[in-house]
Chain A
Amino acid sequence: MSALLELDLIAARDALRARKITSTELTAAYLARIEATAGLNAFITVTADKAMAMAAASDARLAKGEGGALEGLPIAIKDLFCTEGVLTTAASRILDGFKPTYESTVTGNLWRAGAVMLGKTNMDEFAMGSSSGTSFYGPAINPWRGAQDAGAPLVPGGSSGGSAAAVAGWSALAATGTDTGGSIRQPASFTGIVGLKPSYGRCSRWGIVAFASSLDQAGPMTRTVRDAAVMLSAMAGHDPKDSTSAAEALPDLEASLEAGVKGLRIGVPAEYRVDGMPSEIEEIWTRGIAWLRDAGAEIVDISLPHTRYALPTYYIVAPAEASSNLARYDGVRYGLRVEGENLSAMYANTRGAGFGAEVQRRVLIGTYVLSAGYYDAYYRKAQRVRALIRRDFDEAFGKVDAILTPTAPSDAFAVGANEDDPVKMYLNDVFTVPASLAGLPGMSVPAGLSARGLPLGLQVLGRMFDEPMVLRVGRAIENAAAFTARPAMLEGV
């Protein structure tokens, strides 16, 4: 079994094409691994029968020398993507029992490319959180354990924490995530994997449970940068069913992957040196800068003056959009219904029982900032600051080809930590939210270990639709970092 699970996406793809292994044995190995790692609570639903049927179909195609870019490769899907006939919950009680009668565009693209679905992964409820602890199905757990306070379970980050835990714990070859303010990148940093948030509009949002529509974007979570390039190529593409989907053609993402960073200009933003940042975060960032300089890049000091206002902007814009999007959950068309003495009471009872505490907070904040009398002071104000944040990036990208920052302000924290004060949890996204507001592509690449022996990621940001540059710089970081550390739970697998 071990030899099969050792293979990354590219290696498994090549072994399948060379007919050295079959999708059936590879998929069976992953399903066994999911059972063995059930304690991580990475999956809400495991679709074992469907996986084996898809694997058999892939093997038949491969035997005829046919098959797509991801033919026979078993992957996990964040439970925010609608999957036809398969329970889709957004980790919320309010979608209790919901089995979509349609398939999201992104997952449809993946199945068309030949990928095999292992199951649906755990997450923060409606993707609202940075720990995967707000799930109705209980917290997802990080495969990594700290060197100190041995045995204490750590969060895999969030909101795509189940996907991150599955990839890091080898219970999926790769997984989809979604990122609204950092929900792919921060969990990737916490679990030592690669997580890529594409430019807004690259991947269709059709069939993805909506959180904040002007920010939500799907992306790959993988073991390597090349895996991310190959998986994104299969996920992305224009979709007439999403009016915000980009018409820009997706370039060949593997073509310039190994081009190196010689002669590139890499920006280092002064404002990302935030107060109280642990010294080990500063150190890994400094190391990353040195790697790129040693590889021939020119390091350029840049300024993104409105960085500190990105989080407060996000916590107006995202809840406002969420309160509007989540109005659809009313106990009428799908999911939970809690009866009441009349229709209004039924709505309120259903939503009060169906939404967890963090979702309720955001629905209320969003309702407030959009309400008559407060709209201009909060929502319009936030949209204006958002324009300034975008302008900061536009000016910076006049001088540099890519930007390098830390991904998160800490390594993985304990399950249950940061729950006493909602704003404390929000601070996890301090480095990821600005690019989300600007719509830019960003990727977290594992760069080293903290003093506690936990993974730390570095974030590469690029111009709008310049995923090839993000991947190219990310690949250079990956090369230099030579990150081979593994969670102890993988020993002897």
Chain B
Amino acid sequence: MSLDKATVASIAALARLRVPEERLEPMVADLNTILGFVEQLDEVDTAGVEPLASVTGHALPQRDDVVTDGGYPERVTANAPDRVNDFYAVPKVVE
């Protein structure tokens, strides 16, 4: 299937990505090229094949549910573009 401009705009909104109006048209063309390429997979018979999500061959280990790290908020927030005391600061979201 082929994407149109409105669909790409809504995917961009889902992805929280500002795509300027003049960039939308070329983006539609690029994405359709990529989708046209990956749709070759429709040829493959995958009936009864279990999806493979991980190649590790082991189950994910679980550790005890205890605090093992932390206690250094200044290091955690050191790279924040804006912070107040030990908190990340963002534009006001509640009026």
Contact = CB atoms under 8 A, between A and B. Distances in A.
Given A334-B79, A422-B34, A244 B17 contact: no
B92 to A, nearest CB: 8
Contacts of B63: 240
A335 B82 CA distance: 10
Interface string A229-271: 0000000000010011011000000000000000000000000
A244 B56 contact: yes
A136 B17 CA distance: 18
Interface string B30-52: 11011101111111101001111
B15 A367 contact: yes
B38 to A, nearest CB: 4
Contact of A200 (B34, B42, B53, B55): B55
- State which size class the interface on B falls in: 35 or more
Nearest to A378: B38
A309 B56 contact: no
B81 A364 contact: no
A386 interface: yes
- State which size class the interface on A falls in: 35 or more
Nearest to A340: B91
Contact of A361 (B31, B42, B60): B31
B93 A342 contact: yes
A100 B9 CA distance: 34
B24 to A, nearest CB: 11
Contacts of B52: 383-384, 386-387, 390
Contacts of A368: 3, 11, 31, 35
Contacts of A339: 91
Interface string A364-387: 110110010000001011111111
B80 A334 contact: yes
Contacts of B44: 306, 309, 384-385, 388
A331 B37 contact: no
- Majority SS at the chain A contact face: helix
B41 A385 contact: yes
Interface in A373-412: 378, 380-388, 390
A335 B79 contact: yes
A348 B11 CA distance: 12
A439 B93 CA distance: 44
B81 A343 contact: no
A315 B91 contact: no
B18 A243 contact: no
- Majority SS at the chain B contact face: loop
A344 interface: yes
Contacts of B33: 421-423
Contacts of A383: 51-53
Interface string B1-34: 0010000100111111111100000010011011
B54 interface: yes
B81 A337 contact: yes
Interface in A314-359: 315-316, 323, 327, 330-337, 339-340, 342-349, 351-353, 355
A367 B44 CA distance: 23
B61 A243 contact: yes
A333 B81 CA distance: 7
Contacts of B71: none
B88 A332 contact: yes
Given A332-B88, A335-B81, A347-B16, A423 B56 contact: no
A331 B30 contact: no
Interface in B75-90: 75-82, 88, 90
Contacts of B77: 333
A438 B55 contact: yes
Contacts of B31: 361, 364-365, 368
A224 to B, nearest CB: 29
10 contacts: A240-B63, A244-B60, A312-B39, A313-B38, A315-B37, A315-B38, A334-B80, A361-B34, A364-B11, A364-B17
Interface of B: 3, 8, 11-20, 27, 30-31, 33-35, 37-44, 46, 49-58, 60-61, 63, 75-82, 88, 90-91, 93
Given A335-B81, A364-B17, 10 more contacts: A243-B61, A312-B39, A334-B79, A334-B81, A348-B17, A355-B17, A363-B15, A367-B15, A368-B3, A437-B55
Interface of A: 97-102, 200-201, 214, 240, 243-244, 246-247, 306, 308-309, 311-313, 315-316, 323, 327, 330-337, 339-340, 342-349, 351-353, 355, 360-361, 363-365, 367-368, 371, 378, 380-388, 390, 421-423, 426, 437-439, 464
Q: Which 5 A-B pairs have the closest CB atoms?
A: A352-B18, A439-B55, A383-B51, A334-B79, A337-B81
